[in-house]
Amino acid sequence: MYIYIMPTAKDFIGKCSGLKNVMGSVIADLPFGEWNLYELDHNCTKVIDKYGIFNIIEKVFDKESTTKPVLVAMAGYSLKSFCGSSQIIMENLGYLNRKYKAIYVLCYDEEKFKEFQNRSAEKRDVQKALSKEKNPILNRPIESLEYREFVFKGEIAMYEELGIICDKVIRCLGLTNVHLLGKSAGGGTAMNIVCTNPIYTRLYLAVPAHPTYCKSLELLGERLNEMKVIIGWNENDEMNLAGVNSNRNMELYEPILVKLKGRYPGFQYTQHRFKPGNFHEINPELLKVIGEDL
């Protein structure tokens, strides 16, 4: 492994101080003192020129365990999203510490990843500008998968690409038996990571991207018979995800999950709507559900 570890993540995570989370509260000093920081260098990832430097913070609970899984969490593509999700996780470690050997939270290179998002948005605008007369799909409701798969071709390709890259980054840590937790755009990425490698054994999603990206789970094939997916939504989450409020997506995910369950009877999934919720963020109650999912 071409990874070097720093004794503390304090200096790196100092960037969080002063930022406001999605609830509007200023993020103060977070308890990173017992967390380690991994910075993956070019020799490990071979992707630094295009994707930037990946930082991963680590909290170890049980060094000796050979059976416990690890949790890898990924937020949206901004530093603000990383800091906000890290805050929620750090404040609720009591729900997770008995289940996991360690927790990792992935921080992307914000500038690089925002470039990907911006380019995919440009492709989306081009698709939306096409003639509705020549493309009847554009007359479908914005919530429909047919509309989304056509208009969001660029974004679908983006998540597929970044899923492959983030899988490579995670495997650089030498992890096995990995549970993924993806929030927002990180959820879209996680849905594409989970099908790349059998080391991923659970998928947890918090206010994830539009269900178009949920179709990537079909790539798991028979592995779905051994997979469990748990999704958490917030009733007060009105984040606009390209025309659809996040809190409306629970109903849009359901038919896709039901279809997968019909094809693969062993597949397990649950969705939770938390009231009133904590807007577009990981809900502590979801972390409790994850901790109890043995």
Q: What is the 3-state secondary structure (H, E, C) of 34-77?
A: CCEEEEECHHHHCCHHHHCCEEEEEEECCCCCCCCCEEEEECCC
Coil, helix or strand for 200? strand
Split at pLDDT 50, 70, 90, the class of 258 is very high
Could you give the CA distance from residue 246 to residue 225 in angstroms, rounded to a whole number?
28
Q: What tokens were used for 31? A: 């308890």
DSSP code of residue 27: P
Find out whether 186 and 76 touch, Cβ atoms under 8 Å: yes
Q: Output the CA–CA distances (angstroms, integers) from residue 164 to 19, 193, 284, in the order listed.
A: 30, 6, 29
Element (H, E) at 107: strand 102-107
Question: Is it true that the peptide bond before 276 is cis, omega within 30 degrees of 0?
Answer: yes
pLDDT at 41: 64
DSSP code of residue 154: H
Q: CA Rg, the chain, in Å?
A: 19
Split at pLDDT 50, 70, 90, the class of 213 is confident
Q: Work out how many domains the chain is built from and give that number.
A: 1
Q: Does residue 3 have a pLDDT over 60?
A: no
Q: CATH no. for residue 82?
A: 3.40.50.1820
pLDDT at 142: 78
Helices (H), the chain: 10-13, 42-45, 48-51, 79-91, 110-128, 145-151, 153-172, 185-193, 249-263, 284-292
Determine the structural domain holding residue 97 and report its residue range: 3-292
Answer with the residue of higher pLDDT: 142 or 161: 161
Q: What's the whole-number mean pLDDT along residues 110-123?
A: 83
Split at pLDDT 50, 70, 90, the class of 2 is very low
pTM: 0.92
Q: Side chain identity at 268, as an amino acid letter?
A: Q
pLDDT at 138: 81
Q: What's the whole-number mean pLDDT along residues 8-37?
A: 79
Could you give the CA distance from residue 119 to residue 129 in angstroms, rounded to a whole number?
16
**Bridge partners of 58?**
36, 104
Q: Output the CA–CA distances (angstroms, integers) from residue 125 to 118, 120, 139, 141, 162, in the order listed.
A: 11, 9, 15, 16, 21
pLDDT digits (tens, 9 = 90+) for 66-96: 999 999 999 999 999 999 999 999 999 999 9
Q: What's the whole-number mean pLDDT along residues 254-262?
A: 94
Q: Return the percentage of the chain with pLDDT > 90, whole number.
A: 54
Answer with the residue of higher pLDDT: 38 or 220: 220
Which of 25-39, 114-128, 245-259 shows the highest mean pLDDT? 245-259
Q: Return the percentage of the chain with pLDDT > 70, whole number.
A: 92
pLDDT at 45: 59
Split at pLDDT 50, 70, 90, the class of 1 is very low
Q: Does residue 42 have a pLDDT over 70?
A: no
